[in-house]
Amino acid sequence: MTGVSPRPGGRIDRLVVTRPAQEATAWVSALRAAGWPALALPLIDIGEPQDAASRQALAHWRVHWPALDALMFVSPAAVQHFFLGMAAPPAGAPVRTHTLPRFWSPGPGTARALAQALSSFGIGTDRIDSPPADAPQFDSESLWPVVRPQLRPGQQLLIVRGLSRDAQAGPAEPDGMPGHGRDWLIRQCEGLGVRVQACAAYERRAPCWGSETRAVALAAGGTGSVWLFSSSEALTHLARCAPAAGWGAAQALVTHPRIAERAREMGFGRVLQTRPALTDVLGTLESNWSPS
């Protein structure tokens, strides 16, 4: 492009979106519409919980959630799987007449999923609590000042989350956040006398790659590739799916400092951080790279 200064990160031949498949499809579509050569390479598979205790707890809370004071959903997947198949308030549920629960979200993606799910119950977005749009991060720490004034001793909070089949990967807090912040928020709530419980609405698993997918990933380890990460667990899965690969020639765009730390440990040649909203990701891309 004549007269345009080169971007510091060079040109992008591949912009690799690593979110779970359903989210990745939507992101790839939006990024391609903006002119970026995006491709989906999901690094986290999402499925139903496998163990009986998790399924039993999920079934219980799908009926009894109206009796809670608040529910925190850690990701869009948590929302979608928790409300899966529920088109109306459960029959016979102990609904309290004086108030509805509050619905907590650590970021805009989860808030959008909540707004869509709750509309089926006639519940408006005024019941959703989320960090402000200009928050420096979308995570539990940013959510805390928003929800703290609601809390009283004896209240009940349910954390709706995912389970990881990979114990070494540790918990993930999607909308980009690893689990450290969520654990911190739970401690704050418990310190105020709030009873905190949890249920797993879904299970995260490493993807099963065939030779063709592995070849795509290895090709994207070279110059001209930028990987978009919204979870440190995705990086752990990448290291295991392609253990012999070197990532020094590739670049990473990440949505949280803890994910940036993991990407540097993996050896990505350049790691940049952005807020996780699409507009912010596009702005960071435009400031640092040019599409091929």
Domains annotated on the chain, with CATH: 11-44+207-291 (3.40.50.10090), 47-205 (3.40.50.10090)
38 in Cβ contact with 17 (< 8 Å): yes
Give me the mean pLDDT over the 248-271 stretch: 94
pTM value surpassing 0.85: no
Mean pLDDT of the chain: 87
3-state secondary structure the chain: CCCCCCCCCCEECEEEECCCHHHHHHHHHHHHHCCCCEEECCCCEEECCCCHHHHHHHHHHHHHHHHCCEEEECCHHHHHHHCCCCCCCCCCCCCCCCCCCEEECCCHHHHHHHHHHHHCCCCCHHHEECCCCCCCCCCHHHHHHHHHHHCCCCCEEEEEEEEECCHHHCCEECCCEECHHHHHHHHHHHHCCCEEEEEEEEEEECCCCCHHHHHHHHHCCCCCEEEEECCHHHHHHHHHHCCCCCCCCCEEEECCHHHHHHHHHHCCCEEEECCCCHHHHHHHHHHHCEEC
Out of 68-72, 139-143, 261-265, pick the least confident: 139-143
pLDDT band for 5, please (50, 70, 90 cuts): very low
Exposed, middle or buried, 182 (CB in 10 Å: 0-12/13-18/19+)?
buried
State the Cα–Cα distance between residues 107 and 267, nearest whole angstrom.
28
Rounded percentage of the chain residues whose pLDDT exceeds 70: 88
pLDDT at residue number 90: 53
Sheet containing 128-129, strands listed edge to edge, beginning at the edge strand earlier in sequence: 45-47, 195-205, 156-164, 70-73, 102-104, 128-129
The predicted-structure confidence for 134-182, as pLDDT tens digits, reads as follows 888 888 899 999 999 999 999 999 999 998 876 444 433 434 344 457 8
Please give the backbone phi and psi of residue 117, each rounded to the nearest 5 degrees, phi first. -65, -45
**Which amino acid, residue 240?**
R
Q: How many CB atoms sit inside 10 A of residue 128's CB?
A: 18
The predicted-structure confidence for 87-118, as pLDDT tens digits, reads as follows 565 555 554 445 789 999 999 889 999 999 99
Give me the mean pLDDT over the 25-39 stretch: 96
Q: Which two tokens stand for residue 47?
A: 């499925």
pLDDT at residue number 155: 97
The predicted-structure confidence for 196-250, as pLDDT tens digits, reads as follows 999 999 999 999 999 999 999 999 999 999 999 999 999 999 999 988 788 999 9
CA-nearest of 230, 236, 254, 262 to 76 is 230
